[in-house]
Amino acid sequence: MRRFLFVTAALLLFLQTGCTQSIRYTEEEIKGYQPRIQEDIRKGQIEPGMTQEQVRYAWGSPDSITKLEAFESKSREEWLYSHPFTLGVVGSKLLVFFDGRLIYIK
């Protein structure tokens, strides 16, 4: 019985720490953003219009970045995230940035 309790406690601790988001920013770094953006970052949420820096604060670094051909002299990038436990989602997410702003989430 004692061994069962130990294994159960260890498993619960592992699952809890495996799903916990690590802090990728300090309050000092995000204090200049609008309150709504600050709250999204704290919750690990993103939305169109966020900058690349804000997305990194909310989700961390992507698994890969693909630089696309510029359009009208504006940069375009695709970021791929595939951290299902970190992001709280199943599968991967593709983000598209235009001129440093998030325009599409798939």
* Domain residue ranges of the chain, discontinuous segments joined by +: 23-105
Q: What is the DSSP string of 2-69?
A: HHHHHHHHHHHHHHHHHHPPPP-S-HHHHTTS-HHHHHHHHHT---TT-BHHHHHHHH-S-SEEEEEE
pLDDT tens digits along 42-77: 999 999 999 999 999 999 999 999 999 999 999 999
Distance CA 81, CA 72 (A): 27
Which pLDDT value is given to residue 6? 46
CATH number for region 23-105: 3.30.1450.10
pTM of the model: 0.72
Cβ(25)–Cβ(46) under 8 Å?
Answer: no
Split at pLDDT 50, 70, 90, the class of 11 is very low
